[in-house]
Amino acid sequence: MCFSLLITWTYSAKPLKFKERPGIDLLIHGIFVLTYPYFVTMVLTKTRFQTLDWLVLGIAFLGPISVQLEQQIRDYEVDRLSSNNFTVRFGIPRSQLIIKIIGIIIAGIVIFTVINIKLPMFIYAFLIICSPLIIMKVRQESRRSEKLVAILLSVGFVLADGIYWSIFYFRL
């Protein structure tokens, strides 16, 4: 817990202020937003890491970097006047390219996982629910397609409900 507080402090406070160090700002997000809690939980519970865990950690590392870059692009006009971050230093086009590459890598991890690892059935419903986000990241759409999201959410929930009843009611 103390280590987490230290990282939080060093991200925003002087003298280190990692959020204004291009590259380090993204690494901090990649390591500490989702990856660190997942990793620490696995270590503290003495759970053996399996292939799926490493794939989840990969997504947990890349996802927050992508989200942080999107936020930096959104805040670019204000940030360029008062601070220094990855997008201010290297530009919006480079940040957009990295977001696209991250989206492709995450999609590849998901496809690899679905093909090569036997997952619990309910996970497939959630992959359907999450697929619009991955598609929009790769296509770099700034506006979300509400219709696509609604359709995939509906299909995902119907699928999850069907899986639930198949497993628990019919004991399949």
Please name the amino acid found at residue 35. T
Q: Does the global pTM surpass 0.75?
A: yes
Looking at residues 83-96, what average pLDDT do you find? 93
- Give the pair of three-digit tokens for residue 56: 């989840």
The pLDDT score that the predictor gives to residue 46 is: 94
Integer Cα distance of 86 and 21 in angstroms:
7
pLDDT band at 62, cuts 50/70/90? very high
The pLDDT score that the predictor gives to residue 102 is: 92
Higher pLDDT, 80 or 146: 80
Integer Cα distance of 85 and 10 in angstroms:
15
Using an 8 Å Cβ cutoff, are 59 and 109 in contact?
Answer: yes
Integer Cα distance of 129 and 132 in angstroms:
7
Residues 6+ apart with CB under 8 A from 121: 163, 166, 167
